[in-house]
Amino acid sequence: MLASALNGLGASLSFRQTRHPALDGARGLAVVAMVMGHTLDALLAPALRDHPWVQRYWELRGITAPLFLLVSGWAVVMALGTRPGAAKDSFGRRIRRALLLLFLGYLLHWPGWGAVRDLGYSNAMLAKVFQFDALQCIGAALLVGAFALVLTPNLGARALALGGLAVGIPLASAVLWKAGALLPVPVQQFIGNGEGSRFPFFPWAGFFFAGAFAAHALHLLKPGWPQGLALIALGGGLLALTRWVPVEWTPTSPTMVMFRVAQGLLVLGAVNLLPRRLSGLLAPLGRLSLWLYVLHLPVVYGWADIAGLAQRIGPRLGIAAALGVSVALLVGCYLVARLGRWVREQAQPWRSGSTTLGASVGTARLGQ
């Protein structure tokens, strides 16, 4: 038992020493944009949606989901550190995590037994039950990534595998969407050509593996300014490339993925360069990003046959009122999620800790 505990402590310390200092800050920034975006989308009056500032925000909001996926892929690789066999040792934990994300993703889109009975065993019912969204995409990408990391212990082979997935998934999207027309509805939802599939594996998993590849390529650089400058240089290079390769804003466009990856790398690099105190303000939200997502979504859009704010209030609020609701929702969900974590830490004290920037090695842990 002692040996097992020491092995676990060694693995935990290995992770803590390689924890990306901007990881929680970037996630926290994405959480704020996500909750505000969903709330404004559900409650803002139609007459105000054409306001220049609102239109500008819709444009900036487009980076939210790509940033989540990019940072998720980055975190998976950075957590491995340089310890030999880390991918194999953490394989079971990653599989369990991936299955949890898939379960929560499908649970959030459960239409309710009434809707299932009314639709019967039809393609419309299957499309609702198996709707593929952000959590499912991250979970599926994590499953694939866990196998890819275990099968490529050699660093060169791992770079080829992660780079190949980052480039190959967006490039294959258009062909697979066409080829999947005759496949079962759940498979169509996964591929992306199914109705209602919001963040299908093709091409959205490309963001996850782009983050994983970037982390693998830059893992020798010290977190902070060295990695931050490298990320900005890499993101800036990709962004400059879009001037030569026009971006096509279509669901299967690989150039759209490249453009959003460039933006995500720039954001991650910028957060790296921020003073630790500023990043630390966003870090608490980033550590609870999964549960903030799970908590706020049914409140805004409803769940099964329970109406949410979109149905109870609807799109009729002014900008100030809608922003006020979004802030209240963000704070409320954070308090609930933090309470849940506190209860879990009391029940499992060995799992307690923090990944806040500046936290000591002795208290850092794998966050959400």
Q: Which two tokens stand for residue 327?
A: 């802030």
Tell me, what's the pLDDT at 130? 95
Q: What 3-state class would DSSP assign to 239? A: helix
Tell me, what's the pLDDT at 352? 52
| 203 in Cβ contact with 257 (< 8 Å) | yes
Tell me, what's the pLDDT at 323? 94
Q: For the range 111-114, what are the long-range contacts, defined as Cβ-Cβ under 8 Å and sequence gap of 24 or more?
A: 111/304, 112/304, 112/305, 113/304, 114/304, 114/305
In the chain, domain spans: 2-351
Model-level pTM? 0.88
Terminal C-alpha separation, the chain: 27
Tell me, what's the pLDDT at 16? 42
| 162 in Cβ contact with 77 (< 8 Å) | yes
Q: What 3-state class would DSSP assign to 132? A: coil
Q: Which residue has the tokens 């957590």?
A: 79
Q: Which two tokens stand for residue 24?
A: 């929680």
**Average pLDDT along the chain, 368 residues, taken 10 residues at a time:** 39 43 83 92 91 80 91 90 84 96 96 93 93 96 96 94 98 92 91 86 97 94 89 96 90 95 95 84 91 96 95 95 96 96 81 40 31
CA angle at 14 for the pair 9 and 15, rounded to the nearest 5°: 100
User: CA–CA separation, 25 vs 286, rounded Å?
Assistant: 6
